[in-house]
């Protein structure tokens, strides 16, 4: 696959929402270990808003921008802030109705850059960044010009990143107060974001 159309992208989002809904309870249970146990519901609500807005999109830049605005204005909480920031950042580096491999890479890099403006969390802090950073890095590093292969590289890195959070001690935000208690469980945000990247590759 050399070109990603806007319809392909909408299919990626639909698949992500479907898979995230199926695993809602799992994300909430992981969140309950060190948080308030609502991450499953939070990400389902946020992704539902994103998908609803994306359906109306006809062009990458405007569609991604509207997705970011709508999720932030309709859904409160950190999950929607970060997802909104991700899509707004993607909007800054995408345009038209089709993207080639370089366009896809630039779009994901823009998404990560904007999320990094919103959170100071780094790799190793046991947050969603442990899935997002490796995923975008792998997408950038992938030598192929086939978009499915590129997104598969991203998915693989995101899943490995999420798995690596099991051994980590929470080092960010309120979860930090739980320290040692967080070891042995994957981070809920890293897990749900890795599910999103896995879905993106699966959809193509």
Partner 1 sequence: MSDIKTKFINDPEQITPELLEGYVLAYPDQVKLGGENIVVRANPKSEDKVAIVTLGGSGHEPALSGFVGEGMLDCSVVGDIFAAPGAQRLFQALQLMKREAGILLVVLNHSGDVMSANMACQLAERVGIKVKQVLTHDDISAGIDADVNDRRGLAGCVPLYKILGAASEEGKTLDELVEIAERYNKNVATLAVAMRSCTHPQNGGTITDLPQGIMEIGMGQHGEGGGGQKPLVSADATAAEMVDLLCQQLKPKAGDKMMLIINGVGATTHMELNIIFRKAYKELEARGLQVVVSRIQEILTVQEQAGFQMIMAILDEDHIDYLKNKRADAPYWTTIGK
DSSP H or E segment with residue 19 = helix 6-22
Nearer to partner 1 by Cβ, of 47 and 88: the residue is 88
Figure out which of the listed residues 5, 8, 48, 78 binds partner 1, where binding follows CB under 8 A.
78
Nearer to partner 1 by Cβ, of 128 and 150: the residue is 128
* DSSP code, position 23: T
Question: Does the footprint of partner 1 cover residue 95 (CB under 8 A)?
Answer: no
Q: How many CB atoms lie within 10 A of CB 120?
A: 10
Residues of this chain, 185-204, that bind partner 1 according to CB under 8 A? none
Instruction: Count the residues in the chain.
Output: 204
CB 12, min distance to partner 1, A: 24
CB 91, min distance to partner 1, A: 9
Looking at 4-12, 35-43, 84-92, 156-164, which segment touches partner 1 (CB under 8 A)? 84-92
Q: How many CB atoms lie within 10 A of CB 103?
A: 18
- C-alpha to C-alpha distance for 44 and 121, rounded to whole angstroms: 23
- C-alpha to C-alpha distance for 128 and 174, rounded to whole angstroms: 14
Interface residues with partner 1 (CB under 8 A) are: 65, 69, 72-74, 76-78, 81, 84-85, 88, 117-118, 173-174
């Amino acid at each position: 696959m050399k070109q990603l159309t806007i319809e392909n992208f909408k299919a990626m989002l639909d698949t992500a929402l479907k898979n995230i809904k199926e695993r809602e309870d799992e994300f909430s249970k992981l969140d309950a270990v060190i948080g308030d146990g609502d991450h499953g519901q939070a990400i389902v609500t946020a992704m539902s808003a994103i998908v609803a807005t994306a359906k109306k999109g006809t062009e990458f830049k405007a569609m991604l921008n509207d997705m970011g605005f709508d999720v932030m204005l309709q859904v409160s909480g950190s999950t929607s802030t970060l997802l909104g920031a991700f899509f707004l950042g993607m909007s800054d580096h995408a345009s038209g109705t089709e993207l080639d491999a370089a366009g896809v890479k630039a779009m994901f890099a823009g998404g990560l850059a904007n999320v990094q403006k919103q959170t100071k969390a780094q790799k190793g802090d046991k947050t969603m960044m442990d899935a997002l950073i490796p995923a975008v890095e792998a997408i950038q590093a992938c030598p192929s010009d086939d978009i499915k292969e590129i997104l598969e590289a991203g998915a693989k890195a995101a899943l490995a990143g999420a798995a690596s959070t099991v051994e980590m001690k929470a080092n960010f935000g309120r979860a930090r107060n739980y320290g040692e208690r967080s070891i042995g469980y994957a981070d809920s945000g890293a897990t749900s974001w890795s599910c999103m990247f896995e879905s993106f590759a699966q959809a193509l």
